[in-house]
Amino acid sequence: MRIGRICEAIGRWFDRTEDSNNMNTLSLFAKFRKDRVEPHNSDDHCIPTDHLDVTDVEDSKYLNWLKEHPSALTVFQEIMNAANGKQIVVFLDYDGTLTPIVDDPEKAFMSPAMRSAVRDVAKKFSTAIISGRSRDKVYGFVKLEELYYAGSHGMDIKGPVTQSMSYECKYQTKALDHQGNELTIFQPAQDFLPSIKELLNRLKKETCDIEGVFIEDNRFCLSVHYRHVPENDYAALEKIIKSVLEEYPKFRMNFGKKVMELKPSIEWNKGNAVLYLLDTLGYANSSDVFPIFIGDDKTDEDAFKVIRSSKQGCPILVSSIPRDTRALSSLQDPTEVESFLIRLANWVPAGTQ
């Protein structure tokens, strides 16, 4: 049986389910998982499957994984049922989510169609990009004034004006956007700026003999890219990075997609950035908010975790292969992200048609 047929059958089955407004997302998805094991009359339906470029063996692995993390396109209506009556806030990762992963990090340009989808979503819902890149660089790619931006894995936030006393005032400054509207900049890793500069220079010097290394300055964190490093040199590069880091115990490192990400060891990640933005938007501890976070990487898991623990909202992983994740739902690639955003922007809440 092909994936498309199964997804279609389940999607249609969902269309027939009763209004599920009173269920939180977790129980909705639990219901989805239970029902997926015994799909109803799945042979009655057939949709093209040519967008799924996987072998039969991979098909079955992916199908099993989809039972746990159904496509956000297939369960779109269930997500919206859970969001009904609540204020949706949209959080988007950048690389691998709004653009496909490309060889050159400097050329991860966003397509005009994706930009238009994000703009339309932002017209309806508060929307923020939370990226590992520097805030300026991600703004340079996205070029939309309508959004909030958090760079350096959430350690550099340009968000709404806030009087919130929950966050250290010394890390908050006022700013204006291009239209003269007031905003707040929150930079909890400010104290690390001098040591980040020092670490950057040190890493450049120590790795200069390794072919293909590119160290990206993301302002409050650094990315050591090894996509163009010969595989034989991976171990040597990792050894150098780890040995330099021993001299900088206030920094930690994690692996991303062919990248080692170095950041200050403060208790701050994309999950904290989500909470900060919800707080400054006026939704601290609110049960009337429904955050949607779409991301493809390990650092996005911190945001997924925060949303899961609030028991409302929908964390969505972008992946076309089975992966361990806290996300409830999935999308295969940026093309599907775009379709999801278009549907979201055009969504009309029940009772307002």
Ligand X SMILES: O=P(O)(O)OC[C@H]1O[C@H](O[C@H]2O[C@H](CO)[C@@H](O)[C@H](O)[C@H]2O)[C@H](O)[C@@H](O)[C@@H]1O
Nearest distance from residue 98's CB to ligand X, in Å? 8
DSSP 95: B
Nearest distance from residue 204's CB to ligand X, in Å? 15
Beta strand 222-225 with 251-255 is unpaired
Nearest distance from residue 114's CB to ligand X, in Å? 14
CA distance 273 to 315: 15
Binding-site ranges for ligand X (CB under 6 A): 93-96, 101-103, 105, 108, 131-133, 216, 218, 223, 225, 227, 256-259, 261, 297, 299
Nearest distance from residue 97's CB to ligand X, in Å? 7
Give the Cα-Cα-Cα angle 276, 278, 279 (nearest 5 degrees): 65
Closer CB to ligand X, 132 or 160, in the complex: 132
Nearest distance from residue 261's CB to ligand X, in Å? 5
Closer CB to ligand X, 7 or 129, in the complex: 129
- What are the backbone angles phi and psi of residue 254, rounded to the nearest 5°? -135, 160
Instruction: Give me the residue whose beta carbon is nearest to ligand X.
Output: 132
Nearest distance from residue 326's CB to ligand X, in Å? 16
Nearest distance from residue 96's CB to ligand X, in Å? 5
CA distances from 143 to 135, 223, 236, 267, 286 (A): 11, 22, 38, 29, 31
Closer CB to ligand X, 256 or 322, in the complex: 256
Closer CB to ligand X, 83 or 108, in the complex: 108
- Which residue(s) pair with 290 in the sheet? 88
Closer CB to ligand X, 86 or 158, in the complex: 158
In the chain, the N- to C-terminal Cα span, in Å, equals 37
Closer CB to ligand X, 86 or 137, in the complex: 137
CA distances from 343 to 72, 83, 122 (A): 11, 14, 13
Give Cβ neighbours of residue 184 (< 8 Å, ≥ 6 apart). 157, 158, 159, 160, 161, 162, 172, 173, 174, 175, 280
Closer CB to ligand X, 131 or 310, in the complex: 131
Q: By C-alpha distance, which of 33, 36, 15, 13 is closest to 25?
A: 33
Give the Cα-Cα-Cα angle 206, 208, 212 (nearest 5 degrees): 125
